[in-house]
């Protein structure tokens, strides 16, 4: 990496850090450090010229675009213009072309590298009291996002097969590994929605290298397969998931009894495993010891009455049946985290028109999410509560209200910024998530939605009919 002005680089890093409370004597202030950003740029051999849209300025504008309710490039560039004018600098152009070109020039690995490092740095510094029985727990799950209907996006991430051409939108599958303690995203995989090697199991195999011996992976029923449980156990990683009743049945009359509805059984190696060659398959053990625990859900309003929790945590004294039930129930936290990313950060419908920019947009959302999770961890540490007790949406709203003050008044000195940060953290800590574990609501809507006619033909065909004067309604 070459710099034409090292002083300007340091100034831009400090400004970016101040936006997310990475300045001063607060905890977790080295999550987004100058070394982290410089390390990412150095690994990519990025050449930075002293221009308006340097890598850090481009990253800041992209982050502001992701966090704003208005996701347009015009609004993002307007914020940069306002900042430069407030600092007495020459006003840059309000046109969006230079900014879009700068996003395009930066490699995808720059965005993914910074997002991963921020998530890892946050997770490495969590308080031991936030862990589950002193062990880190990570969650894996997937979801989908849609994007503009362009030929490039359709080629990389085709729409659902049963939709007519011109009526659907490109759709991508994303899977994340998240920390249960602080909610940070450690890694993310992106693939097509359907096709060989595009499923959640395939993405899990690409991501599980970040797990370390002693970790616990919490997944849904789709991941409770023999090969995945065995591979993770050989790596020293324990698994907790739900039994997939489509592939296996639990018989509590067999195996080693540990208590009522709790036993250890030996799962026979399935035949065959399509993802493995014959030699690798033959070298695998014939059996795998697995613990099955029956959990009854008797709360009215819940659809599931009985679930079978499958785990490689075999010691009933170290991990009781109630511990497993409580741990598996906490898997719902990832569903809420994904909702925060897709709904609160508005990542459910992306805006970029090429696959490469789509992936950059996804990674920028993940970076913004991890930085907000860092602020939540700071507030939790200050108030001696758990990060999961703080509202993600409330944190976003408080940060959005304080950021203009942080941006335009940050030059007043370190002590002023520190007081401003403390006030912001106190505001964030007041937005607690209510403890309602057994809450349920009818899946119904009281307000009628606006009536709209659905498109049943491609847009170009409808426009051709309109030119001919044919009624399309």
Total domain count, the chain: 1
> Of 136-150, 388-402, 426-440, which range is least confident?
426-440
Band (pLDDT 50/70/90 cuts) for residue 380 is: very high
Q: Is residue 101 part of a domain?
A: no
Pick the closest to residue 333 from 463, 184, 449, 156 (CA basis). Answer: 184
Average pLDDT, integer, range 113-127:
92
Average pLDDT, integer, range 108-132:
93
Q: Is residue 322 part of a domain?
A: yes
Q: What is the pLDDT of residue 272?
A: 79
Q: Is residue 164 part of a domain?
A: no
Q: Tokens for 12?
A: 């831009």
Band (pLDDT 50/70/90 cuts) for residue 116 is: very high
Would you say residue 284 has pLDDT above 70?
Answer: yes
Q: What is the pLDDT of residue 3?
A: 45
Mean pLDDT score across all residues of the chain: 87
Query: For residues 271 and 333, which has the higher predicted lDDT (pLDDT)?
Result: 333
Average pLDDT, integer, range 231-235:
93
The pLDDT tens digits for 126-177 are 999 999 999 999 999 999 999 999 999 999 999 998 888 888 899 999 999 9
Q: Is residue 266 part of a domain?
A: yes
Pick the closest to residue 291 from 332, 324, 330, 326 (CA basis). Answer: 324
Would you say residue 19 has pLDDT above 50?
Answer: yes
Would you say residue 410 has pLDDT above 60?
Answer: no
Average pLDDT, integer, range 58-82:
90
Average pLDDT, integer, range 294-323:
84
Q: Is residue 314 part of a domain?
A: yes
> What is the residue range of 247's domain?
221-330
Percent of the chain with pLDDT over 90: 53
Q: What is the pLDDT of residue 186?
A: 96
Q: HEC states along the chain?
A: CEECCHHHHHHHHHHHHHHCCCCCCCCCCCCCCHHHHHHHHHHHCCEECCCCCCHHHHHHHHHHHHHCCCCCHHHHHHHHHHHHHHCCCCCCCCCCHHHHHHHHHCCHHHHHHHHHHHHHHHHHCCCHHHCECCECEEEEEEEEEECCCCHHHHHHCCCCCCCCCCCCCCEEEEEEEEECCCCCEEEEEEEECCCCCCCHHHHHHHHHHHCCCCCEEECCHHHCCHHHHHHHHHCCCEEEEECCCCCCCCCCCCCEEEECCEEEEEEECCCCCCCCCHHHHHCCCCEEEEEEEEEECCCCCCCCCEEEEEECCCCCCCCCHHHHHHHHHCCHHHHHHHHHHHHHCCCCECCCCCHHHHHHHHHHHHHHHHHHHHHHHHHHHHHCCCHHHECHHHHHHHHHHHHHHHHHHHHHCHHHHHHHHHHHHHHHHHCECCCCCCCCCCCCCCCCCCCCCCCCCCHHHHHHHHHCCCCCC
Band (pLDDT 50/70/90 cuts) for residue 437 is: low
Q: Is residue 271 part of a domain?
A: yes
Q: Is residue 244 part of a domain?
A: yes
Would you say residue 48 has pLDDT above 70?
Answer: no
Q: What is the pLDDT of residue 370?
A: 95
Percent of the chain with pLDDT over 70: 94
């Amino acid at each position: 990496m070459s710099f034409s002005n090292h002083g300007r680089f340091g100034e831009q890093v400090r400004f970016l850090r101040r936006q997310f409370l990475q300045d001063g004597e607060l905890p977790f202030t080295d999550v987004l450090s100058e070394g982290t950003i410089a390390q990412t740029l150095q690994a990519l051999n990025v050449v930075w010229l002293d221009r308006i849209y340097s890598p850090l300025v481009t990253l800041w504008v992209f982050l502001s675009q992701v966090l704003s309710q208005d996701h347009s490039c015009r609004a993002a560039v307007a914020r940069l213009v306002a900042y430069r004018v407030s600092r007495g600098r020459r006003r840059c152009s309000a046109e969006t072309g230079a900014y879009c070109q700068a996003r395009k020039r930066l490699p995808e690995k720059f965005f993914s590298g910074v997002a991963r490092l921020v998530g890892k740095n946050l997770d490495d510094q969590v308080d031991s009291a936030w862990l589950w029985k002193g062990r880190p727990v990570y969650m894996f799950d997937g979801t989908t996002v849609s994007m503009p209907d362009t030929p490039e996006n359709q080629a990389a991430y085709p729409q659902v097969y049963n939709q007519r051409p011109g009526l659907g939108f490109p759709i991508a599958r994303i899977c994340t590994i998240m920390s249960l303690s602080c909610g940070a995203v450690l890694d993310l995989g992106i693939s097509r929605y359907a096709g060989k090697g595009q499923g959640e199991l395939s993405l899990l195999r690409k991501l599980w290298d970040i797990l370390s011996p002693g970790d616990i992976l919490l997944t849904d029923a789709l991941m409770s397969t023999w090969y995945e449980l065995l591979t993770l156990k050989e790596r020293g990683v324990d698994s907790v998931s739900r039994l997939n009743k489509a592939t296996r049945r639990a018989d509590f009359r067999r195996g080693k009894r540990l208590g009522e509805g709790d036993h250890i059984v030996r799962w026979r190696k399935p035949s065959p495993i399509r993802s493995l060659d014959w030699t690798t398959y033959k070298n695998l053990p014939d059996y795998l010891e697995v613990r099955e625990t029956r959990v009854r859900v008797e709360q009215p309003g819940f659809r599931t009455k009985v679930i079978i929790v499958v785990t490689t945590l075999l010691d009933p004294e170290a991990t009781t049946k109630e511990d497993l039930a409580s741990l598996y129930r906490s898997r719902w936290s990832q569903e809420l985290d994904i909702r925060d990313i897709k709904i609160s950060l508005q990542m459910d419908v992306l805006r970029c028109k090429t696959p490469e920019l789509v992936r950059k947009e996804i990674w920028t959302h993940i970076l913004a999410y991890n930085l907000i999770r860092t602020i939540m961890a700071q507030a939790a540490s200050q108030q001696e509560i758990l990060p999961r007790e703080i509202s993600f949406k409330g944190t976003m709203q408080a940060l959005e209200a304080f950021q203009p003050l942080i941006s335009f008044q940050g030059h007043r000195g370190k002590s002023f910024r520190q007081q401003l940060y403390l006030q912001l953290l106190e505001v964030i800590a007041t937005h607690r998530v209510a403890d309602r574990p057994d809450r349920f609501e009818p899946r119904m809507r009281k307000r009628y939605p606006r009536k709209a006619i659905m498109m049943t033909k491609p847009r170009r065909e409808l426009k051709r009919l309109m030119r001919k004067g044919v009624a399309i309604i």
